[in-house]
Amino acid sequence: MVAERVPRSLNPPTPVELQKLRRRPEGWRLACQTVVFDSIAVVTRPQMGRASLDAAVAAAQAEPLPLVEVAVEPVEEEGQEEPENGEPPDDGL
């Protein structure tokens, strides 16, 4: 069971999910088939009582998200490779 903070935080269910979960409650997803695009709250024990489930989802949604720094490596454009000697290419200027 998942509680999305914004609509469309997940990809739509795949055909594999629809087949595997056809006898399960609505809202169940397979982690191996799910792509997450934004923050979500995942309930790993959906068999809990409904009141407990609602309280767990509300608590997760109220908690602020941790700040995480992501290191991004620069991508070289085609034809912009550095020579093997490690020096920048001579632009002819």
Q: Which amino acid does the sequence have at 41?
A: A
State residue 52's pLDDT score: 75
How does pLDDT run across 57-87, given as a tens digit for each residue?
788 778 777 777 777 777 776 665 555 666 6
Answer positive or negative: Cα dihedral of 49, 47, 21, 7: positive
Query: Which pTM does this prediction carry?
Result: 0.47
State residue 88's pLDDT score: 62
Report the half-sphere exposure of 73 (CA within 13 A, side-chain side): 2
State residue 20's pLDDT score: 92
How does pLDDT run across 2-43, given as a tens digit for each residue?
566 667 888 999 999 999 999 988 878 888 998 888 877 777
Domain boundaries, the chain: 2-62
Q: How many CB atoms lie within 10 A of CB 74?
A: 5
